[in-house]
Amino acid sequence: MKWIKISNTNNVYEVILNRPELRNAFNPEMIEEITTVFKEIPATTRVVILRGAGKVFCAGADLEWMKSMVSYTFEENKKDAIKLYDMFQAVQNCRAPILTVVQGAAMGGALGLMAVSDMVIALDSSQFCFSEVRLGLAPAVISSFVLQKSSLGLIAPWMISGKVFSADEALRWGLVHQVVTTVEELEVGLASWVNALLEAAPEAVQATKTLVNQVLSLSEEQAKEFTASLIAARRVSLEGQEGLKSFLEKRTPLWKTSWEKKEC
């Protein structure tokens, strides 16, 4: 990988956008790398941490990439946009929970990465913007992912206006789940989320991620069948049996582990 840095420590997989000199802005090569990485996350992965190297999480589209778009035909632009959509879909479809860390700024497409993450922790000094309209464009590709995470009434004014908003505002709208004030608190918060996930049963976490992403799209009868079947399957599973027995026997379940941040 040229623009992505990856590591795996005890099944905690870390994916780092690694173009700090360009504020980790997307280009076609980075988009392809992100797509590939998330399609190939090992099945044993318990948590995926997504973050950006340097002082900025992600500034959206790379300037040179935007310059090249000027000469694209309609069909070339559409093909380019579909690759971007495929990237967000690959991240969203990752079976393991995704914990995204935001510092500095998240602009344009970076908000799509936040939207397809399961948990987002951000520095309170971070700034956010659906910057597309400022360039005569629209936040088209990320819109469906963002609106799965936040309500239309809350987020539409910011998508339409391109106005910059704060981490606290992103927290209120569901795009961020925890706001901290220092880099040290950011790392402590990250470790807290990771260790909470490592206390939970890995297959149960994956099943619950599927549950929360699908249940609202089901009809009443489909939801009844899906949820009843899911809990029945979990109860008779090896993990479910181990969880119930360890609780009743007042012992630690076999899957429980812990994680400490290691410098890459």
Quote the pLDDT of residue 259. 84
Residue pLDDT, tens place only, 61-111 = 898 888 888 899 999 999 999 999 999 999 999 999 999 999 999 999 999
The answer for 60, left when phi > 0, alpha when psi is -120 to 50, beta otherwise, is left
Q: What percent of the chain has pLDDT over 90?
A: 92
pTM (two decimals): 0.94
Query: Where do the DSSP E strands lie in the chain?
Result: 4-9, 12-17, 47-52, 98-102, 105-107, 119-123, 127-129, 165-166, 178-180
The rounded distance, in Å, linking the Cα atoms of 35 and 241 is 36
How far is residue 140 from each of residues 90, 131, 145, measured CA to CA in Å? Answer: 17, 12, 10
pLDDT at position 264 over 50: no
Residue pLDDT, tens place only, 193-214 = 999 999 999 999 999 999 999 9
How far is residue 50 from each of residues 58, 152, 170, 177, measured CA to CA in Å? Answer: 11, 26, 18, 15
Q: Which residues, in sequence order, are bridge partners of residue 16? A: 5, 51
Identify the band that residue 246 occupies on the pLDDT scale cut at 50, 70 and 90: very high
Quote the pLDDT of residue 174. 96
Is residue 13 within 8 A of residue 43, CB to CB? The reply is no
Residue pLDDT, tens place only, 138-168 = 999 999 999 999 999 999 999 999 999 999 9
Q: Which structure tokens are listed for 168?
A: 């606290």
Q: β-strands 4-9, 12-17: how paired?
A: antiparallel
* Mean pLDDT on 54-60: 96
